[in-house]
């Protein structure tokens, strides 16, 4: 947002955010690019390499094809959306971005490195640097830059194109203006709903969701119930759209394990400890839907 006047409303500033960068094109990154492009924004995605770029493009194309099949967008929309999204492999290509959404795996060192680099690369001092982290402190990401006031958490939910919620997280260092413009962008531009959350691990939703998923995994691990009974129980008995094990597969078992670990480190509550079976599945590359096998198989 070049030359923002302090008198300009947050809503007006959000409307002027036209160039968005997305770092990471996994399940969440591809979804973020899609919703920003749908909102008419020009999106540049930074992939980790050629292979990651090809995978990200396939993800995006699959989701858009799904959108067409479900009647949410037309064939013509699909072509326009793909034209609005470009893929690069160099963070340096984000120099002209007004908003950057970081969405790489939940590894603190990697995220810190990315924020340090973004701070050097993104030219507009008013640009917002946002993280889609589920569990890491926004304050630490802010401290990795020389502009912690412009660093904020924006936590989307999977599938991004379908679920309406975004948690907006301010650290103790985030400027109120940054939070207000981010919130206006998420609601007015992307058409999502916001819950504001404090800067502690898990924010609101994962602090409730992850212990539930872990309890289901422990129940399975102990042999007390089958995967099918656990999932059918929660679907049919509590009207959840999917059971906890299917949901863990959808989120990605590496992400579930990483968020559990971060919650455990923050609160030291045994309810957050990663169950051994989950650790072994991650060690084995059985990460759920994205690798074709988790608690279920996806051929
Ligand atoms: N674009 C737009 N809309 C789409 C779409 C697309 N690409 N694909 C599907 N949709 C729409 C459908 O049209 C439908 O909308 P409608 O009801 O208005 O017709 C709706 O989305 C549901 O889609 P489907 O009918 O294809 O699929 P299901 O009914 O089987 O629902 C699901 C699939 C949305 C995944 C549902 O099972 C669900 O909501 N599951 C729970 C997901 C969840 O809890 N996610 C949160 C994970 S936690 C997280 O992400 C945080 C992280 O930090 C851990």
What backbone torsions phi and psi does residue 191 show, to the nearest 5 degrees? 75, 25
Last residue of a domain, one of 173, 198, 223: 198
Residue of the nearest CA to atom 51 in ligand 1? 157
Residues 179 and 230 in one domain: no
User: Residue 156 domain-assigned?
Assistant: yes
Residue ranges in 144-187 assigned as alpha helix (H): 176-184
User: Residue 78 domain-assigned?
Assistant: yes
Which residues sit with their C-beta closer than 6 Å to ligand 1?
Answer: 63, 66-67, 70, 72, 134, 157-159, 161-163, 206, 209, 241-242, 247, 251, 255, 259
On the question of pLDDT at 215 being above 80, the answer is: yes
Residues 151 and 42 in one domain: yes
On the question of pLDDT at 3 being above 90, the answer is: no
What's the confidence (pLDDT) of residue 229? 98
Range of the domain at 260: 206-291
- Test site for ligand 1: of 103, 162, 163, 250, most ligand atoms within 8 A of the Cβ: 162
Residues 72 and 134 in one domain: yes
Q: Which residues of 241-262 are buried (b: 16+ CB within 10 A; e: fewer)?
A: eebbbbbbbbbbbbbbbbbbbb
Measured distance CA(79)–CA(291) in Å, rounded: 28
Q: Is 105 helix (H, G, I), strand (E, B) or coil?
A: coil
Residues 99 and 223 in one domain: no
Beta bridge partners of 156: 166
- Test site for ligand 1: of 133, 159, 254, most ligand atoms within 8 A of the Cβ: 159
User: Residue 296 domain-assigned?
Assistant: no
What's the confidence (pLDDT) of residue 7? 74
User: Residue 4 domain-assigned?
Assistant: no
Residue of the nearest CA to atom 26 in ligand 1? 70
| Mean per-residue pLDDT, 195-216 | 96
When computed from its CA atoms, the radius of gyration of the chain, rounded to whole angstroms, is: 19
Residues 213 and 157 in one domain: no
- Nearest Cα neighbor of 180 from 142, 207, 210, 149 is 149
Please say whether the beta carbons of 230 and 244 come within 8 A. yes
Residue of the nearest CA to atom 11 in ligand 1? 162
User: Residue 88 domain-assigned?
Assistant: yes
Q: How many angstroms separate the alpha carbon of residue 164 from the centre of ligand 1?
A: 10
Q: Which residue has the tokens 């292979």?
A: 51
Last residue of a domain, one of 134, 163, 198: 198
Task: Assign residue 137 the CATH number of its domain.
Answer: 3.40.50.720
Torsion sign (Cα): 248, 249, 253, 255: negative
Q: What percentage of the chain has pLDDT greater than the value 90? A: 96
Note the pTM of the prediction, 2 decimals.
0.94
**Cβ neighbours of residue 2 under 8 Å, at least 6 residues apart?**
98, 124, 126
Measured distance CA(264)–CA(28) in Å, rounded: 23
Task: Assign residue 259 the CATH number of its domain.
Answer: 1.10.1040.10
pLDDT band of 2, cuts 50, 70, 90: low
> What is the per-residue pLDDT across 279-296, written as a single tens digit (0 to 9) for each?
999 999 999 999 999 999
User: Residue 17 domain-assigned?
Assistant: yes
Residues 138 and 242 in one domain: no
Residues 283 and 247 in one domain: yes
On the question of pLDDT at 1 being above 60, the answer is: no
Mean pLDDT of the chain: 95
Residue of the nearest CA to atom 25 in ligand 1? 70
Residues 161 and 222 in one domain: no
User: Residue 297 domain-assigned?
Assistant: no
**Catalytic residue numbers, as ranges:** 134, 155, 167, 206
**Cβ neighbours of residue 35 under 8 Å, at least 6 residues apart?**
156, 160, 161, 190, 192
Residues 180 and 72 in one domain: yes
Structure tokens at 260: 């559990």
**Cβ neighbours of residue 214 under 8 Å, at least 6 residues apart?**
256, 260, 271, 272, 273, 274, 275, 278
Q: How many angstroms separate the alpha carbon of residue 203 from the centre of ligand 1?
A: 22
Q: How many angstroms separate the alpha carbon of residue 163 from the centre of ligand 1?
A: 6
Measured distance CA(253)–CA(210) in Å, rounded: 11
Structure tokens at 66: 């799904």
User: Residue 5 domain-assigned?
Assistant: no
| Mean per-residue pLDDT, 73-83 | 94
Last residue of a domain, one of 129, 163, 198: 198
Count of structural domains, the chain: 2
Q: How many angstroms separate the alpha carbon of residue 244 from the centre of ligand 1?
A: 15
Residues 164 and 133 in one domain: yes
Residues 38 and 164 in one domain: yes
Residue of the nearest CA to atom 38 in ligand 1? 241
Residues 156 and 238 in one domain: no
């Amino acid at each position: 947002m070049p030359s923002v006047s302090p008198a300009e409303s947050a809503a007006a500033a959000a409307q002027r955010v036209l160039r968005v960068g997305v770092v990471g094109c996994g399940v969440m990154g591809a979804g973020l690019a899609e919703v920003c492009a749908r909102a008419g924004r020009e999106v540049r995605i930074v992939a980790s390499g050629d292979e990651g770029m090809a995978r990200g493009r396939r993800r995006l194309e699959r989701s858009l094809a799904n959108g067409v099949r479900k009647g949410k967008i037309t064939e013509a929309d699909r072509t326009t959306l793909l034209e609005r999204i470009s893929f690069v492999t160099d963070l340096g290509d984000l120099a002209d971005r007004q908003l950057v959404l970081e969405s790489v795996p939940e590894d603190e060192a990697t995220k810190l490195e990315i924020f340090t680099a973004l701070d050097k690369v993104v030219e507009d001092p008013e640009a917002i640097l946002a993280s889609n982290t589920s569990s890491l402190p926004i304050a630490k990401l802010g401290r990795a830059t020389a502009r912690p006031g412009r660093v904020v958490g924006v936590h989307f939910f999977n599938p991004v194109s379908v679920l309406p919620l975004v948690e907006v997280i301010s650290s103790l260092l985030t400027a109120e203006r940054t939070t207000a413009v981010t919130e206006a962008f998420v609601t007015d531009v992307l058409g999502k709903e916001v819950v504001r959350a404090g800067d502690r691990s898990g924010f609101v939703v994962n602090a409730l969701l992850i212990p539930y998923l872990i309890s289901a995994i422990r129940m399975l691990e102990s042999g007390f119930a089958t995967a099918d009974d656990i999932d059918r129980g929660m679907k049919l008995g509590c009207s959840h759209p999917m059971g906890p094990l299917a949901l863990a597969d959808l989120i990605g078992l590496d992400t579930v394990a990483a968020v559990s670990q971060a919650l455990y480190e923050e609160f030291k509550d045994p309810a957050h400890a990663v169950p051994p079976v989950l650790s072994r599945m991650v060690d084995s590359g059985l990460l759920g839907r994205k690798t074709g096998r988790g608690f279920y198989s996806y051929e």
